[in-house]
Amino acid sequence: MDINNNNNNDLSEKILITLRQIARAMSIYSKSLDKHFGLTSPQLIILQELSQTDQMAIGEIARKISLSQATVTDVIDRLEAKGLVLRTKNSLDRRQVLIKITSNGKNIINKGPSLLQKEFLIEFDKLQKWEQHLLLSSVERIALMMKTKNYLKG
């Protein structure tokens, strides 16, 4: 038996278990957010982005939060149906639709549902810079490794 191969299997299994733990934490957080505020994580992230500015184009929102424009449009549709955002035409370019948070949307943000990311950032900020860079490099590499798989294409 090859000891190196066995160690690689152990390490890869531990990484996969840890990734499942992260996915589970995100799932639990999402269920809690939905139960208490009737929102999904992407909806909350978009509301928080909109709360920091007067209005934004859908493409700009998509770039800021790293989601596709189609996904953001779908999320905006649901937020608009809940009365949390409004679509308006850009006064300078009537072809462009801008998204603005409503007072109801601001009220939800003011109630303070914390993003899972905020809790992560508190712990992340406690790390030394070299540890932060090591984590970033590792997570980027894992993401790259997972994106190369064709199973995501449907």
**One domain for residues 43 and 108:** yes
**One domain for residues 107 and 118:** no
**One domain for residues 107 and 57:** yes
**One domain for residues 47 and 105:** yes
pTM exceeds 0.75, yes or no: no
CA nearest 113: which of 56, 50, 46, 32? 32
Would you say residue 153 has pLDDT above 50? no
- Specify the number of domains making up the chain: 3
Domain region containing 55: 39-112
**One domain for residues 91 and 137:** no
**One domain for residues 137 and 154:** yes
**One domain for residues 5 and 22:** yes
User: With bands split at pLDDT 50, 70 and 90, how would you rate the model's confidence at 52?
Assistant: very high
Q: Which residue has the higher pLDDT, 41 or 135?
A: 135
Which CATH number fits the domain that encloses residue 50? 1.10.10.10
Question: What is the average per-residue pLDDT within 12-41?
Answer: 89
**One domain for residues 44 and 16:** no
**One domain for residues 53 and 105:** yes
Would you say residue 151 has pLDDT above 50? no
- Mind spelling out the 3-state secondary structure of the chain? CCHHHHHHHHHHHHHHHHHHHHHHHHHHHHHHHHHHHCCCHHHHHHHHHHHCCCCEEHHHHHHHHCCCHHHHHHHHHHHHHCCCEEEEECCCCCCCEEEEECHHHHHHHHHCCCCHHHHHHHHHHCCCHHHHHHHHHHHHHHHHHHHCCHHHHC
**One domain for residues 79 and 124:** no
**One domain for residues 96 and 84:** yes
Q: Which residue has the higher pLDDT, 61 or 147?
A: 61
Question: What is the average per-residue pLDDT within 81-90?
Answer: 93
**One domain for residues 21 and 46:** no
Would you say residue 154 has pLDDT above 50? no
Question: What is the average per-residue pLDDT within 72-84?
Answer: 97
